[in-house]
Amino acid sequence: MDPLFIFLLAILGCVTGFAAGLLGIGGGMILVPFLTYLLTWQGLPVNIVVHTAIATSMASILFTSVSSVRAHQKKGAVRWDLVLAFTPGIVVGGLLSGGTVFAALKTGWLALFFAIFVTYSGYQMLRDKKPKPSRQMPGAVGTAGAGAGIGFLSGLVGAGGGFVSVPFMLWCNVPLHQAVGTSAALGFPIALANTIGYIWSGLKQPDLPAGMIGYVYWPALLVLVLFSVFTAPIGAKVAHSLPVKTLKRVFAFLLFGLAAYMATKAYVAFS
């Protein structure tokens, strides 16, 4: 790989690891737009560049989620009862998304879907609407159903699910720091199910570039992981020192910026 490419991946790994710990988003919401740019610069075919960015981003969450959740657990911010309730649905939704629907969508539609959904998530976070005090998390079946939706949507955009799971848990009156910590823990089953799906569906594609197993670009993945696992715990520590309102605003404006970039990718793809 180009030394400059490796250097930029290292910086990106540090930033996304920190964001994963800070916001419980797995880092994918940052990784996908920037990886799309870097992989395009490296000459990956246009028809698979967004697929590759999403799949590689998701694979990295397998590692950053473990590093992040350990730091959140030390603060007692992980609701393991919710993790267990969400996981069965997450696995089903992730396998369905990564293994079937993902490969069928063209680059432009993936980028457009990413932009629209992330914008909506940022808007919901920024408006800070208070949920009804009486609202609680649904039962086991309802939580598993929500998990299926989270796993499926995460597979389409290559993120750890925090952009859906954090707002959903806040809507159900789970405190923000617990929602972020629990979302970090959910990143692992989301990433595992979807990465298996990406590899399976990508192996069916002819003439993939060197360094790819399915849609996952392993050389970039290794660099990202080496740096992101060290900064994820730092982000988690910072998260517990920030006021709730500040944390929500950081989350929302980050999402808006990334959505704008992916919207431009969709426009180019459709042009």
> What is d(CA 60, CA 219) in angstroms, rounded to the nearest whole number?
12
Cβ atoms of residues 258 and 118 within 8 Å: yes
> Quick one: CA dihedral 263, 269, 270, 271, positive or negative?
positive
198-223 confidence digits (pLDDT tens): 898 888 788 888 888 888 999 999 99
> What is d(CA 179, CA 168) in angstroms, rounded to the nearest whole number?
9
Half-sphere exposure in the Cβ direction for 23 (13 Å, CA): 32
Cβ atoms of residues 135 and 171 within 8 Å: yes
pTM: 0.74
Cβ atoms of residues 167 and 121 within 8 Å: yes
Please give the share of the chain, as a percent, with pLDDT higher than 70.
88
Instruction: Domain of residue 61: give its range.
Output: 3-270
64-99 confidence digits (pLDDT tens): 777 778 877 887 888 999 999 999 998 888 888 777
Total tally of structural domains belonging to the chain:
1
Q: What is the DSSP letter of 101?
A: I
Beta pairing partners, 216: 213
> What is d(CA 214, CA 52) in angstroms, rounded to the nearest whole number?
9
In this prediction, residue 160 carries a pLDDT of 63
In this prediction, residue 129 carries a pLDDT of 65
Q: What is the DSSP letter of 100?
A: I
